[in-house]
Chains A and B, each alone.
Chain A
Amino acid sequence: AQKITQTQPGMFVQEKEAVTLDCTYDTSDPSYGLFWYKQPSSGEMIFLIYQGSYDQQNATEGRYSLNFQKARKSANLVISASQLGDSAMYFCAMREGAAGGYQKVTFGTGTKLQVIP
C-alpha cells in the first residue's frame, strides 16, 4: 500500500482564490510527522509546513495551513489567496517515528498547481 497518496496530479486555481491540495497517509506508527514541500520550476525543494502526529492544532505558516484530520489520515495543504508564484509542484511527505535522528521520510508523487491570472 502507498504510504503517501496525492490523488491530484494537476490543479488550476484562480489568482487570489484559496486552494486545497489533498494528501492521505498510511502508517501504524503512533509517532510521525507530515510535511509539505514546494518545488518550483527551478527545481529546488522548499519546505513549507510541518505537522506532528501529537500536535493538537493544525499547523499554519503564513498563507499555508495544514488541515490535519488524524482519524481520516489526511493532511491537506491549504493555500489562501493564491499568487502567481505559487505555481509549482507540491509534495506531501511523512516521517515515521519520532523527530530527530535518522528520518525515514516517504514522499508522495506530487501535485502540479498552476495559478491562473
Chain B
Amino acid sequence: DAGITQSPRHKVTETGTPVTLRCHQTENHRYMYWYRQDPGHGLRLIHYSYGVKDTDKGEVSDGYSVSRSKTEDFLLTLESATSSQTSVYFCAISDLQGRVREQFFGPGTRLTVL
C-alpha cells in the first residue's frame, strides 16, 4: 500500500473557525491532490500540487487554500469553515515513474462543520 496518511481522521468544528487538514506521503511522489466526497457527487477535485510550492485550483476550490512546502506534505486550509464544507476529504498522490495508471488515496478525513 502507498504510504499516505491524513490527519486528523475526524474533526468537528464550528462555523467561522479555521481548519487545516494534513496529507503526508512517504512515496516521494510529485503530484498530490485534495478531493472532497459528498453523496450524489462522487469525488471532486479541490486543489492539486505538481511540486513544492506549485499548486493550482481544481473544480471546487472556493473557500479552500493549499500549501506545499515539502514534497511529503500537502496542507488543505479552510480559512473560515462553513456548513457546506462538511464532507469527507481525501488526499491522493501520483507520479511520473513507470506506467503510472492510478492515483493512490489516503484514508480520508471526515470533517463536520456545525
Contacts and interface: CB of A to CB of B under 8 A. Distances in A.
B43 A91 contact: yes
Chain B contact residues: over half helix, strand or loop, or mixed?
Answer: strand
A74 interface: no
Contacts of A93: 43
Given A101-B31, A103-B31, A44 B105 contact: yes
A43 interface: yes
Interface bracket on A:
20 to 34
A50 B92 CA distance: 17
Given A107-B42, A107-B43, A109-B41, A101 B96 contact: yes
What 10 A-B pairs come out closest when comparing CB atoms? A107-B42, A45-B105, A107-B43, A50-B101, A47-B102, A109-B42, A100-B96, A100-B100, A99-B100, A43-B108
A91 B42 contact: yes
Interface of A: 4, 33, 35, 37, 43-45, 47, 50, 52, 91, 93, 99-105, 107-110
Contacts of B45: 104-105
B31 A99 contact: no
A37 to B, nearest CB: 8
